[in-house]
A and B are shown apart, each in its own frame.
Chain A
Amino acid sequence: MALLEISQIRKTYATGEVALRGVDISLNGEEVVAVLGLSGSGKSTLLRCINRLVEPDSGTVMLDGVNITKLNKSALRKARRNMGMIFQEFNLVERLTVLENVLSGTLGSSGTLRSIFRAFKPEDVKRGMALCARVGIIDHIRKRADQLSGGQRQRVGIARALMQRPKILLVDEPTSSLDPKIGAEVMDLMSSISKEDGIPMLISVHDVQLAKKYSDRIVGLQNGLKIFDDRTATVDSESLDRIYDMAS
Chain B
Amino acid sequence: MSDAARVENPLRPGRVILRRYAAYLAATLAVLAMAQQIIVAETDWARMGSAAELLREAAAFLPNLAFMPEVLFPLLETLLMALWGTAMAVALSIPIAYLAAKNISPFYPLAYGFGRGVIVLSRSTHEIIFALLFVSALGLGPLPGILALGCRSVGFMAKTTAEAIENVIPGPIEAIEATGAGPIKVFLFGVVPQVFPIWVGNVIFQLDINLRRASILGLVGAGGIGLMFAEKMQMLEYDKAGSVVLGITAMVIVGEYFSNRIRTRLI
Interface residues, chain A, with chain B CB atoms under 8 Å away: 51, 53, 74, 77-81, 83, 85, 87, 89-96, 104-109, 112, 115-116, 157, 160, 164
> Is A95's CB under 8 angstroms from B194's CB?
yes
> Is A95's CB under 8 angstroms from B179's CB?
no
> Is B185's CB under 8 angstroms from A92's CB?
no
> Is B179's CB under 8 angstroms from A93's CB?
no
Query: B190's contact among A51, A89, A90, A93, by CB below 8 Å, is which?
Result: A93
> Is B184's CB under 8 angstroms from A112's CB?
yes
Of all chain B residues, which has the CB nearest A115? Answer: B185
Is the CB of B113 closer than 8 A to any CB of chain A? no
Bound Cα distance from A79 to B185, whole angstroms: 16
Known: A95-B194, A95-B197. A85 touches B175 (CB 8 A): yes
Task: Give the Cβ gap from A218 to chain B, nearest Cβ, in Å.
Answer: 24
> Is A108's CB under 8 angstroms from B174's CB?
no
Query: B189's contact among A53, A74, A77, A115, by CB below 8 Å, is which?
Result: A115
The 7 closest A-B pairs by CB, nearest first: A108-B180, A80-B180, A91-B175, A107-B181, A91-B171, A81-B180, A95-B193
Of all chain B residues, which has the CB nearest A114? Answer: B185
Interface CB pairs A-B, < 8 A, 6: A79-B180, A80-B179, A93-B193, A95-B194, A107-B180, A164-B180
- Digit string of B179-201 for contact with A (CB within 8 Å is 1, else 0)? 11110110011100110110000
Query: A91's contact among B174, B180, B181, B197, by CB below 8 Å, is which?
Result: B174
Task: Give the Cβ gap from A205 to chain B, nearest Cβ, in Å.
Answer: 19
> Is B175's CB under 8 angstroms from A160's CB?
yes
18 other contacts beyond A80-B178, A93-B172, A95-B197, with CB at 8 A cut-off?
A51-B178, A77-B181, A77-B182, A85-B178, A89-B171, A93-B189, A93-B194, A95-B194, A96-B189, A96-B193, A104-B189, A108-B181, A109-B180, A112-B182, A115-B188, A115-B189, A160-B175, A164-B179
Task: Give the Cβ gap from A84 to chain B, nearest Cβ, in Å.
Answer: 8
> Is B175's CB under 8 angstroms from A94's CB?
no
Known: A91-B171, A96-B193, A115-B188. A104 touches B176 (CB 8 A): yes
> Is B177's CB under 8 angstroms from A53's CB?
yes
| Neighbouring B residues of A78 by C-beta, 8 Å | 180
Bound Cα distance from A93 to B193, whole angstroms: 7
| Neighbouring A residues of B194 by C-beta, 8 Å | 93-95
Query: B179's contact among A74, A89, A96, A160, by CB below 8 Å, is which?
Result: A160
Bound Cα distance from A89 to B172, whole angstroms: 9
| Neighbouring B residues of A95 by C-beta, 8 Å | 193-194, 196-197
Instruction: Report which residue of B172, B179, B184, B188 has the largest number of chain A beta carbons within 10 angstroms of its beta carbon.
Output: B179
Known: A53-B174, A89-B171, A115-B184. A81 touches B190 (CB 8 A): no
| Neighbouring B residues of A105 by C-beta, 8 Å | 179
Of all chain A residues, which has the CB nearest B172? Answer: A93
Query: A77's contact among B174, B180, B196, by CB below 8 Å, is which?
Result: B180
> Is B172's CB under 8 angstroms from A94's CB?
yes
> Is B178's CB under 8 angstroms from A83's CB?
yes
| Neighbouring A residues of B178 by C-beta, 8 Å | 51, 53, 80, 83, 85
Bound Cα distance from A85 to B181, whole angstroms: 13
> Is A116's CB under 8 angstroms from B188's CB?
yes
Query: A81's contact among B175, B179, B188, B189, by CB below 8 Å, is which?
Result: B179
Query: B172's contact among A51, A85, A91, A107, by CB below 8 Å, is which?
Result: A91
| Neighbouring A residues of B176 by C-beta, 8 Å | 93, 104, 107
| Neighbouring A residues of B193 by C-beta, 8 Å | 93-96
| Neighbouring A residues of B188 by C-beta, 8 Å | 115-116
Bound Cα distance from A112 to B182, whole angstroms: 9
Task: Give the Cβ gap from A120 to chain B, nearest Cβ, in Å.
Answer: 11
Query: A87's contact among B171, B185, B189, B197, by CB below 8 Å, is which?
Result: B171
| Neighbouring B residues of A80 by C-beta, 8 Å | 177-180
Task: Give the Cβ gap from A87 to chain B, nearest Cβ, in Å.
Answer: 6
Bound Cα distance from A92 to B173, whole angstroms: 9
| Neighbouring A residues of B190 by C-beta, 8 Å | 93
| Neighbouring A residues of B197 by C-beta, 8 Å | 95
Of all chain B residues, which has the CB nearest A76? Answer: B180
Task: Give the Cβ gap from B102 to chain A, nearest Cβ, in Å.
Answer: 16
Task: Give the Cβ gap from B178 to chain A, nearest Cβ, in Å.
Answer: 4
